[in-house]
Chain A
Amino acid sequence: MTDAIVVEGARKRYGEKWALDGLDLTVGRGTVHGMLGPNGAGKTTAVRVLATLLRADEGRVEVAGYDVRRQPDEVRRRIGLLGQHAALDEELSGRQNLDMFGRLYHLGARHARVRAGELLERFGLGDTGRKAVKQYSGGMRRRLDLAASLITEPDVLFLDEPTTGLDPRGRTEVWEAVRSLVDGGTTVLLTTQYLEEADQLAHRISVIDRGRVIADGTADELKSKTGGDRIDVVVRDAAQLDLAARLLPGEATLDVDRRLASAPVADRMEALTGVVQALRDAGVDAEDIAVRRPTLDEVFLRLTGRAEDGERVKEAV
């Protein structure tokens, strides 16, 4: 069986800048693939190329077994897209939107109406009535957008930063929806700036930077490559910071201003109990102790040897 997504050496240029610069990607059917990268890395460009909205300048791009350039309509019949920004008619109600999209997917008027009702119920939007989408909250809008991308139960679903800007509840809702889809056999390509999100949802992760993949593998593989989880200790008395750092397992980094020592850990539970004990024995007064996932910045620093560059600031949209 062919893979759901195959990208080889895709390049896309905007002016002087290569938004995609030799991107390679293979996603097996029925899996969730996370595309992790900071703002400006090329995630949205990649998704738009895959979803037939944008044409790559170079490279091979196949989705669901079809070439996106030569057979875009075959691709379009098999994909769903949740773009970074809502792709909805803001003047219309949720029901009107879904009904319209259903008709445009050629379900026929009756089926489109039934499907719209089903999806509204499923995403908790059944009681929105005639309210126009522009009056929806961010979470409602996102759910409706997701519903719209699921009208035909696509083979391949693209989710471009699906939870950016959502509150924790909205985030959990989207995650749940993605999980249930995958149980149904859909292939998902998900972009995110949060390692946590990729970790939660994706079978495999590609870390991308400047339009190309700089690391890929399962979440565990990546974490071991990048130092995995970390333990943070904030001391009350700055004079004790060095002592605390020595007590941590592994090589600690210090943030003197925040009185923070941070070190990689192999096992969360063991590290936590061990460190608490060691600090207490040494008489270190800790204000805060926490085990956490590495941030994207840390992964980046590790993989590229440089902090994320300034472009992410410019690319804040």
Chain B
Amino acid sequence: MSTTTITPRGRAPVSGGTPAKWAAVDSWTMTRRELAHWARQPVQVLVGLVFPVMLLLMFNYLIGGGKGIAGDYAEFLVPGMFALTMAFGLDATMVAVTQDLNKGVIDRFRSMPMTNGAVLVGRSVADMLQSFASLLVMIGVGLAIGWRWHGSSGAALGAVGLLLLLRFAMLWIGIHLAMVAGKPELVMAVQILVWPVGFLSNAFTVPQNMPAWLGAAVEWNPMSATATAVRDLFGNDPGVVGTSWAAEHAGLLAVVWPVVLVGVFMPLAVRRFGALSK
């Protein structure tokens, strides 16, 4: 038997602290949980950071030299790869949430007097931290292969902000899809679909190199809007600028698209989570 003091017949305090305080405490507890998972799986964390770097290097050196792009391809490619990395975060979020929902521990969370959404907040904070780290690594590698930013540091920060905003939108789409799909088999299907959507963007090449109908779809892809806006903010070569409305208002779309996506998917996901197994 332990000699430590016995906790008084413990009951979750009913009056101590406001709901907002407990929501913050619970969210922090759930974030700590994700961080503890990282600490136990450093290799997995590392692989997550290395994967987009590999893609970047592959495109730059192996496939390289996007047609129709004057000047240094890295200048064009690197910001596009930033956006792609954020977009592929959808996949990571969805896999993590699906795994979590299929774990027994969710039942315990749900039978406790904790804040309902804290599980989702923990997920969000962890994923955003991971993506931020990933972005820093990508910026480092980008600099190493000759990419530079030419604008002000304020503009560069703005670019990072837009990228994280895109990631935040992907986060909520990912959470929602995980809850709709629910099963690992269906996650596979979505995972496969993420690739063409990611590649149907202007991350690697300008839409002018594509058939007209495809080019139009690409220009309206939220990821393309972010890539274009980020190139603009970093002062990088935008390639051939399209003349469609979407291409000309990329900066606006890079804000509006993610905000709309979050506005749609966050409430859906939160509602769905609250109604789980009811």
A96 within 8 A of partner (CB) = yes
Report which of A51, A90, A106, A115 forms a contact with B7, defined as CB distance below 8 A: A115
Q: B22 to nearest A CB, angstroms?
A: 6
Report which of B17, B111, B114, B278 forms a contact with A55, defined as CB distance below 8 A: B278
B113 within 8 A of partner (CB) = yes
Stretch from B24-32, B141-149, B180-188, B231-239 that touches the partner: B24-32
* Interchain CB contact under 8 A, B40 and A92: yes
Q: Given the complex of chains A and B, what is the CA–CA distance between A122 and B2 in angstroms?
A: 7
* Interchain CB contact under 8 A, A87 and B1: no
B10 within 8 A of partner (CB) = yes
A50 to chain B: closest residue by CB:
B111
B212 within 8 A of partner (CB) = no
Chain A residues 75-100 with CB under 8 Å of chain B are 76-79, 81, 83, 85-92, 96, 100
Q: Given the complex of chains A and B, what is the CA–CA distance between A13 and B43 in angstroms?
A: 45
A278 within 8 A of partner (CB) = no
B63 within 8 A of partner (CB) = no
* Interchain CB contact under 8 A, B104 and A83: yes
In the complex, what residues of B have CB within 8 A of residue A114's CB? 4-5, 7
Report which of B5, B41, B111 forms a contact with A81, defined as CB distance below 8 A: B111
A54 within 8 A of partner (CB) = yes
Stretch from A147-155, A168-176, A233-241 that touches the partner: A147-155
In the complex, what residues of B have CB within 8 A of residue A87's CB? 104-108, 111
Q: B126 to nearest A CB, angstroms?
A: 13
Q: Which of A78, A115, A118 has the most CB of B within 10 A?
A: A118
Q: Mark A101-141, 1 if CB is under 8 A from B, else 0.
A: 10111110001001101100110001000001000000000
Chain B residues 15-50 with CB under 8 Å of chain A are 16-17, 22, 25-26, 29, 32-33, 36-37, 40-41
A53 within 8 A of partner (CB) = yes
* Interchain CB contact under 8 A, B40 and A83: no
**Can you name 6 A-B residue pairings with CB atoms under 8 Å?**
A87-B106, A89-B105, A96-B36, A104-B26, A105-B12, A118-B2
